[in-house]
Structure 1
Amino acid sequence: MAEIRKVVVVGAGVMGAGIAAHVANAGVPVTLLDIVPAGAPSRNALAEGAVERMLKADPAPLMTKAAAKLITPGNTEDHFDAAVGEADWIVEVVTERLDVKQALYRRIEAARKPGSVVSSNTSTLPLASLVDGLSESFARDFLITHFFNPPRYMRLLEIVVGPLTRPEAVDTVSRFADVSLGKSLVRCKDRPGFIANRLGVFWLQAAVVEAFARGLAIEDVDAVIGKPMGIPKTGVFGLLDLVGLDLMPHVNASLAAALPKDDPFHAFDRPLPVVQKLIADGYTGRKGKGGFYRLNREAGKRKEALDLATGEFRPARKAEVAAIAESGRSLGKLLDHDSPLGAYAWRVMGATLAYAAALVGDAADGIEAIDEAMRLGYNWRWGPFELIDRLGADWLIARLERDGQAVPEMLRLAAGRSFYRVENGRRQALGRDGQYHDIVRPDGVLLLEDIKRAGTPVIKNGSAALWDLGDGVACFEFTSKMNTIDQQVLDLLVKTVRRVKKDFKALVIYNEGHNFSVGANLGLALFACNIAAWTEVEASVTQGQEAYQALKYAPFPVVGAPSGLALGGGCEILLHCDAIQAHAETYMGLVEVGVGLIPAWGGCKEMLHRWSTLGRLPKGPMPAVAKVFETVSTATVAKSAAEAKELLYLRPDDGITMNRNRLLADAKARALAMAESYVPPEPPIYVLPGPSAETAMAMAVAGFRRLGKATPYDEVVSGALARILSGGDTDVTETLDEEAVLALEREQLVRLVRQPGTLARLESMLMTGKPLRN
C-alpha cells in the first residue's frame, strides 16, 4: 500500500483550510492553494489569510500553533504544477460547479505524478458526473472524500468510489484518513447527498416545515426533537443557527434537483418566506446577527427567539415539557402523546425513520453505515435503526400503517425482531437478505463495549470495574456519573493493583465515556464540608494519594488512555501512570483552583518533577516552580494531546492516537511492550526554593489583583499553591521526598476547604457549571 507523505488542498475556504489544518495536525506537510486575488498585496493572500484566521480561531482547527508550520500557502498560478507534481494526495475543495471542478481536474491530470490519488470534497455532485469525459487513468485514481465541518472535530468521512476507481487508491486514502486523520469511514453509494446529508437534511427540513405549519414555539421544538431522541440539545433550530441558515437553501435546492421525483424529500421541499427574510436581513445564524435565536444587545444581551407565525423576535422562554417528560420512560409514549408536540414529534421522526429504512440499498448497503453516518455526522446518540429498536419495529410498522403511510421493505424485514442483536457475545446487524451478520471491527480496533458484551468484569463496584482485555492485560474503567472519582473508585483501584499483580502482566486505565474523567466528585466534597466532616475530608485526600502512589509503584506497567476531558483528579491519575497513550482530542488540566482547591492527589509533586527533569528551563529550582505555578494557578487546560505535551501533562515520549476507536488497542500494545522488561520508577528527590519563592509568587498574584486580573480569593488559593510548590519551610540546601510534598498538599487542601470562599466556589460550580470569581 502506498503511503501519503505530501498533500495538496486546492481551495482555501473554510472547509479546504480546515482539511489542510487537519493534515498538518497529523504531522504531514500540506500545500494550500487558491486563486490569485486581484489587487491583493500577496499573490498567496487567500491561503495565507486562511492560515492566519485558523491560528486565531476558537475552536481551533490546529491542534498546536506549531502545526501551522507544516502548511505551505500558495496559489494556483505560481505553485500549482510543482505542488501537485509532488503530492501523493490532491484534495479538491472548490465551488460546487461541475464545469469549475472538471477544468481543475484537467490541470491536475496534466501535473500529477502516476499513482497519486485525487479526491473531491463535494457533498452534492455525483462521482459519475465529476469524471464524465475525463481520462480513464484519472477516473482510476479518483474518489470522493466528503469531510464534515469542522474537519478536526467531526469524525465522519464519507467515501464514494466509482466503477473504475483502483482498490489500491481507496485503500491508501482510507488507511491515511483512518489512522492519521482519525476518521471513521463510511462507504456510500454514488447517490445524491450520500448518507448523512441525504437523511439529515430530510430530517431538518421536515422538522422546520412542520414547525411552521403547526405554529409551534421553537424552544418546544428544540426540546422535543433533541435530548429525548438522543439528539444534541441544540435540537433543530439551534443546529441550523450553528451551521448557518444561508446554507440550507443551497443544499435543499441541490437535493431537490438530483433526487427522483417520487422521493419523499419533495413533500417537505418548499420555500419559507420567513427564513428567506432572515437570511436577507443578515440573520444567518451564529456567524451573523443571529438566526432563529439571537442575543438582543440593546436589551442587555437578552436571549430572544423567533416567533414562527409573525416572523418577529420575542424573549426566549423555557420549553413546555408536558409531552417531553414521558420520553424518559418510553420514546413510544412521546411519539404517541396526545398533544400538539406529540403529534409533531411523530410526524417528523416517523417520517425520518421510515426514510432511513428506505435508504438501505439506495444510499448504503447496510443499516450500520446509515447509523454511523448519523451518529458521527449529526452527533445523534443513536442511529435511526437503533432508535427503531428502542421503539420496536412492530410498533413503528403499525403506526405507519395506521396513518396510511408506506412501510419500507427493510422495516418489514425487522417485523417480529430487531435490527440489532447480540449472539454469543457478538453484536449482529440485520442484512437486506433477512439474515443477521456479525459486525466486524477493522484490524487495530478494540472497543471495551465489545469486551463487556462478551464477558463479565474481573472485579467491580458501583463506580468502577476491571476487565480482562486478553493477553495478560487488564483494563480499569470508571463507571460513575461523568466518570468522577469517588471513594469507590479509589477502593477498587487499590484492589486492582493487588489483582493485576497476581493475575496479569499490565494495566490500562481507559473508558468509553464522552470524557475520561472530570475529576473528584464535588458534590460529595461539598456535602462533607457543609457538615464540617474535616477528618473525612483529610482521609479522602490521603486515600487518593495512597491509591495513586500504589499505582505509580506497582510491579507492572500502567498505561493511561484518555480521551475528552481529563481534569483535576482525572488528570492526576494519568500523571501517575508509567506511560500515556492519549487520543488526540484529550483536554488535560489541573483545574482545582477554579473551585477554590489545589491539586492534592499528587498533581503538584508530579508536575514539579516533570518540569524539573523534562522541561527545557534554566538551571535551579525556581524556573520549574514558577512554570508549574503559572500553569496550575491559571487552571490551564491543554486543548489537544499535542498541546498537553507542551505543558508536560504528557511526557515527550507519550503516544497520541488520532482515531478514537484505535485508542484501546494502541494502549494495550504499549502496555504489553513495556511489560517485557518493566522496572518500577525510582522515587524522585525534590530541591525546592522555600519561603523566598513563596513570597515572590504571592507578590506576583497581588500585582495581578491590582490590575484586575485576579480576584481576592484567587490570592488565597494561589497562596496555598505557592506554599506547596516552594516546599514550605525548606530551602535550597535541603532535599524533600515525595511524602513531604504530599504532606504539604494535604495540609493546604484541608486548610482551604474550611474557607467560606472555597465553599462558595464549590456551590457555584455545582449549581451553574461555571467558576465563581469571588
Structure 2
Amino acid sequence: MTDIKKAAVIGAGVMGAGIAAHMANAGIPVLLLDIVPENATDRSVIAREAIERLKKTRPAPLMSAAGARLMTPGNIEDDLNQLADCDWIVEAISEHPGRKQALYEKIEAVRRDGSIVSSNTSTIPLSVLTAGLGERFRRDFLITHFFNPPRYMRLLELVTGPDTNPAKVEVVRAFCDRFLGKGVVDCRDRPGFLANRLGAFWMQVAVVEALERGIDVETADAVLGRPFGVPKTAVFGLLDLVGLDLIPAVNASLAGALEPDDPFRAYARPIPLIETLIAQGFTGRKGRGGFYRLERDGATRTRLVLNLKTGDWEAERKPRPAVLKQAGKDLRVLLESPTPEGEYARAVMARTLAYAAHMVGDATDDPHAIDLAMTLGYGWKHGPFELLDRIGPSLVIGLLEQLGEAIPPFLKTLNGRTVYTVQDGRRQVLQGTGADVPVSRAAGVLRLSDIKLAGKPVFRGPGGSLWDLGDGVACFELTSKMGTFDAGVLKSLATSLERVGQSFGALVLYNDNERAFSAGANLGMALFAANMAAWPMIANLVEAGQKTFMAMRSAPFPVVGAPSGLALGGGCEILLHCDAVQAHAETYMGLVETGVGFVPAWGGCAEMLHRWQTAPGYPKGPMPAVARTFEILSMATVSESAQHAKELLYLRKTDGITMNRDRLLADAKARALSMIEGYEPTGPREYVLPGPAGRTALDLAVSAFLKQGRATPHDVVVAGALADVLTGGPEADPKTPLPESALLELEGEAFLRLARTPATLARVEHMLATGKPLRN
C-alpha cells in the first residue's frame, strides 16, 4: 500500500504529461492541469489533447490503454480546488522561478495540510524556488527531477531543503521506488544536481571539441557511443532527442549558477551553429530534424547527417574508424591512439571523468551516486567512476596532464587504487571523505551480482548457472548471449532441475540482463543445422525443449519466472510453463516464431490454448480460444509491457508485476517461498479442439488477408501449419478430448516441416543478418 492515493501534475507538456502517464501506470488516479488558452471553447483542451497524444505516442508512455482512464484533464483556473483531494502535487511548468512561485502561491491556497508539493525542475535550486514562501509550504516541498521519457528513464533525483519534513521525503522516496520503479538518488541543492550537471558538461565538451577538431557528427557519435557503453544516440543523436532549443538555456543556467572557477565555464559558450539550427526550426526530433534528419520521398526515407563544416545535410556514411576495431573492448587502446579519433576521445572523456571527480565533495560525497545518475538517467552502461576503474585512474591522470588540465583532488586521493573494491564479498566505494563504505542497497533489494561476489554457483553449465539465493530458493541464471536457448542451455536447465529437487525448495528463473531475459532459440544454430540438412539435430532440439519445459512444470517444487526486457519465442515459452511469474513492468513477451517462419514448438501453442480456453468470462466452446490464440500467434504479437502481457494472457491475472527492476529478484524469491507449503505440480491436460472444420475457418481468414495484401505467400504457409496445430490436426474431433502429448507432437511436426522450406530459412537468415523480419 502507499500513502499516495491520488496525484496531480500541473503542466501538460511532454514532460508533465509523461509524469502523469507514469502515475497512471502505477494505478494512481491523476489530475492533469494546464492553462486556459485564449478564446478556447474547451477550457481544458491543452490537458485533454495531451492525454490523447499519450495514447498514440511511441514509445508508449502508457503501459496499458486502461491507464488513460485514470487521467483527468483540467485547467488551473477552474479546477485548482481539486488539488485538495491530492496527496502529491507535481509542478512541471517552464523553467522560470517567478512563474513557478506564482503557481505555488495558488497551490498553497487550496491544498490540504500535509499534502506534498514537488517541482520537476532540472536547473533551478530549491533555495530559489522556496525563497519568500511560508514555513508550511517549505515543510512539504521538495524537488523530484524525473528524466524523459518518465516511463523508461529510471532516474529520479531527489532534492530537499533544510525545512523539508523528513517523513514526507520518505513517502515520496518509497512511492517513486516501489510504484514508479525509480532509482532514487539523493542530491545536494547544487546547480544541475548530478546527472544533468555532468551530462551537460559531457555534451558541451563533445560538441565544442568536434567543431574545433573537425570531427564529423557520425564519427563523434561512433567514438563516444558504444565503445564507452553509451547508448547509440551518443552525443549528437542525444541532442536531437532532447531538443536543441533546450541546450542554450540549460548551459546558460548552469554557467550562471556555478562558481567562476568551475571547469564547466571553460566550455559554456554559445555555439553559433546550434543557434542557427534553432532559428531555422531544426530543433531535433520534435522539429524539422537536427544534426540528423529524415528526408521522405513517398515511402522512401533517407537519413541525412549535418556537415558541421558546411552546414549542409548529406547522406549518412555510417563510418567505422579503424581504431575502434583495433581497440575492441580495451578503451585504453582508443584513448592512447594517436589518430584523430583517439585525440577526440581523450579530449572529451578524460575531461568528463575529471569533471565527475570534481563533483565529488561538491555535488555529493558519494561517487556511486554519480554513477547511478548517469546509468539510470543517461543510459550509460558504466558510470564515470566505473569507467575510470576500467581505464585505470593513473592513465586518466596522465591524459589530463597531457591536456594541461588540473587534477581534481578526488583523483589525487586514489593514489594508485581504484574507486571500487571488493572486501569480504561486498562491493565497496571510496567516498569523498576518504572512507570506503559498502555500496548501498535499499531495503528489500536483492541482486544476483552481489550474490556472485560472495560465493560460487551451485552448478555452472553451458549457457546457465545455478545460484543459492538463501532460504531454500535457488536461481537458474541464463548466461548465454541474450539468454538464447540451444541444446547446451537446455541440458544445463535439466541438470539444475535435478539439483534443485535434491537440495532446494523452490526455483527462480532470472538473469541480470535488463535488455533481455531470453530472445528465444539460438537461430544461428538452427540455420546451421538446416543448411547441413541435419534434421535429426533440429528434431532433438524440439524434443529436448518440450521434455525440459514439461519436466520443469511437473517438478515437485514451485518454479517462478522473473523476466525483464525481451522474453521472445522460447523465452516466452519457458515462462508459460512456470508455476508463477513475477515480471518486471518493462517485460516484452511474445511467441514470435511465425515471424521467422516457424510455429512455437516447446509447448507454447498448447499453453496459450489452455489459457484462453479457461479464461474467466471468455466465450467457451472449441473455436473461440483457437481463433484468439491463432490471432495472437500468427501476428507474432509482442506485449508492450507486463500489464499488456496480462491482457494477451502471456501472463496470468495472478502473476505479479514489479515496477522497480532492482526489486525483481527479491520479489520473485518471496513469491517462490510463499508457494512451497502445500505445493502440487501441474498435471497433463486435455483439449477439446474443432479439427478440420476449424482449420477451414482459419484458412478462409488467412486467404482474405492474402487478397488484401496483408499477408505474404509464406505467411499463408506458416499460418496453415499453425492452424493445423491449434485445431488439433486432421483427425481431431470436438467430441473427443485430445491429450496434451498429441498437441505437443503436432507442434514438433509443424516446426520440422517448416524448417525444410527455403522460405523459412530465408526468413531466419534475414533476421540474423538484419534483426528485422522478412516478408516473403
TM beyond 0.5: yes
Equivalent residue number for residue 469 of structure 2: 469
Aligned pairs, how many?
Answer: 773
User: Residue type of the partner of 2:88?
Assistant: W
In 1, the alpha carbon distance for the partners of 2:366 and 2:126 equals 20
Equivalent residue number for residue 387 of structure 2: 387
SS in 2 for 1:246: helix
SS in 2 for 1:323: helix
In 2, the alpha carbon distance for the partners of 1:116 and 1:301 equals 50
In 1, the alpha carbon distance for the partners of 2:327 and 2:267 equals 26
Equivalent residue number for residue 735 of structure 2: 733
Equivalent residue number for residue 722 of structure 2: 721
In 2, the alpha carbon distance for the partners of 1:484 and 1:192 equals 45
**1:110 has 2:109 as partner:** yes
In 1, the alpha carbon distance for the partners of 2:475 and 2:616 equals 31
In 2, the alpha carbon distance for the partners of 1:70 and 1:551 equals 39
Identity among equivalent positions (%) equals: 60
Relative to the length of structure 1, the TM-score reads: 0.99
Equivalent residue number for residue 627 of structure 1: 628
Query: Which has the larger displacement, 345-354 or 326-335?
Result: 326-335
Provide Cα deviations, 1:608-653, integer angstroms capped at 9, x if missing partner.
0000001532220100000000000000001000000000000001
2:347, 2:403 within 8 Å by CA — same for their partners in 1?
A: no
Gaps of 5+ in 1: none
In 1, the alpha carbon distance for the partners of 2:326 and 2:62 equals 42
Equivalent residue number for residue 763 of structure 1: 765
User: Residue type of the partner of 2:391?
Assistant: L
RMSD value over aligned CA atoms?
Answer: 1.2
Please state how far the C-alpha of 1:320 moved relative to its aligned partner.
Answer: 4.3
In 1, the alpha carbon distance for the partners of 2:142 and 2:465 equals 44
In 1, the alpha carbon distance for the partners of 2:605 and 2:374 equals 42
Equivalent residue number for residue 163 of structure 1: 162
In 1, the alpha carbon distance for the partners of 2:37 and 2:384 equals 45
Equivalent residue number for residue 222 of structure 1: 221
In 2, the alpha carbon distance for the partners of 1:267 and 1:298 equals 43
2:346, 2:399 within 8 Å by CA — same for their partners in 1?
A: no
Alignment of 1:480-559 (within 5 A): 480-513=480-513, 514-559=515-560
In 1, the alpha carbon distance for the partners of 2:2 and 2:426 equals 33
Relative to the length of structure 2, the TM-score reads: 0.98
**1:665 has 2:679 as partner:** no
Alignment of 1:127-276 (within 5 A): 127-276=126-275
Query: Which has the larger displacement, 286-295 or 461-470?
Result: 286-295
User: Residue type of the partner of 1:675?
Assistant: I
Alignment of 1:349-748 (within 5 A): 349-513=349-513, 514-614=515-615, 616-728=617-729, 729-748=731-750
Please state how far the C-alpha of 1:298 moved relative to its aligned partner.
Answer: 4.8
In 1, the alpha carbon distance for the partners of 2:329 and 2:364 equals 32
User: Residue type of the partner of 2:99?
Assistant: V
SS in 1 for 2:17: helix
Evaluate the alpha carbon distance shift between residue 2 and residue 132 of structure 1 in structure 2; reply closer, same or farther with a 3 A threshold.
farther
Please state how far the C-alpha of 1:330 moved relative to its aligned partner.
Answer: 2.2
Equivalent residue number for residue 343 of structure 1: 343
In 1, the alpha carbon distance for the partners of 2:58 and 2:224 equals 28
SS in 2 for 1:582: strand
SS in 2 for 1:260: coil
SS in 2 for 1:373: helix
SS in 2 for 1:302: strand
Provide Cα deviations, 1:340-380, integer angstroms capped at 9, x if missing partner.
11111101111111100000121122100000001111111
Provide Cα deviations, 1:55-78, integer angstroms capped at 9, x if missing partner.
111111110011111111111122
User: Residue type of the partner of 2:558?
Assistant: P
**1:304 has 2:334 as partner:** no
User: Residue type of the partner of 1:11?
Assistant: G
User: Residue type of the partner of 1:17?
Assistant: A
User: Residue type of the partner of 2:280?
Assistant: D
In 2, the alpha carbon distance for the partners of 1:515 and 1:527 equals 23
- Runs ≥4 residues deviating over 6 A: none
Provide Cα deviations, 1:369-417, integer angstroms capped at 9, x if missing partner.
0000011111111111111101111122223234331111111111211
Please state how far the C-alpha of 1:41 moved relative to its aligned partner.
Answer: 2.8
In 1, the alpha carbon distance for the partners of 2:321 and 2:210 equals 16
Evaluate the alpha carbon distance shift between residue 320 and residue 487 of structure 1 in structure 2; reply closer, same or farther with a 3 A threshold.
closer
1:615, 1:624 within 8 Å by CA — same for their partners in 2?
A: no
In 1, the alpha carbon distance for the partners of 2:660 and 2:7 equals 19
Please state how far the C-alpha of 1:524 moved relative to its aligned partner.
Answer: 0.1
In 2, the alpha carbon distance for the partners of 1:663 and 1:638 equals 19
Provide Cα deviations, 1:545-601, integer angstroms capped at 9, x if missing partner.
000000001000000000001000000000000000000000000000010000000
Please state how far the C-alpha of 1:329 moved relative to its aligned partner.
Answer: 4.5
User: Residue type of the partner of 1:735?
Assistant: P
User: Residue type of the partner of 2:360?
Assistant: V
In 2, the alpha carbon distance for the partners of 1:130 and 1:26 equals 28
SS in 2 for 1:297: strand
2:530, 2:755 within 8 Å by CA — same for their partners in 1?
A: yes
Provide Cα deviations, 1:421-447, integer angstroms capped at 9, x if missing partner.
111110000012322111131111000
SS in 2 for 1:385: helix
In 2, the alpha carbon distance for the partners of 1:405 and 1:462 equals 48
Correspondent of 1:753 among 742, 752, 755:
755
Provide Cα deviations, 1:450-481, integer angstroms capped at 9, x if missing partner.
11111111111121101000000000010011
Please state how far the C-alpha of 1:325 moved relative to its aligned partner.
Answer: 2.4
In 2, the alpha carbon distance for the partners of 1:402 and 1:630 equals 63
In 2, the alpha carbon distance for the partners of 1:761 and 1:681 equals 36
Evaluate the alpha carbon distance shift between residue 413 and residue 40 of structure 1 in structure 2; reply closer, same or farther with a 3 A threshold.
same
Query: Which has the larger displacement, 302-311 or 410-419?
Result: 302-311
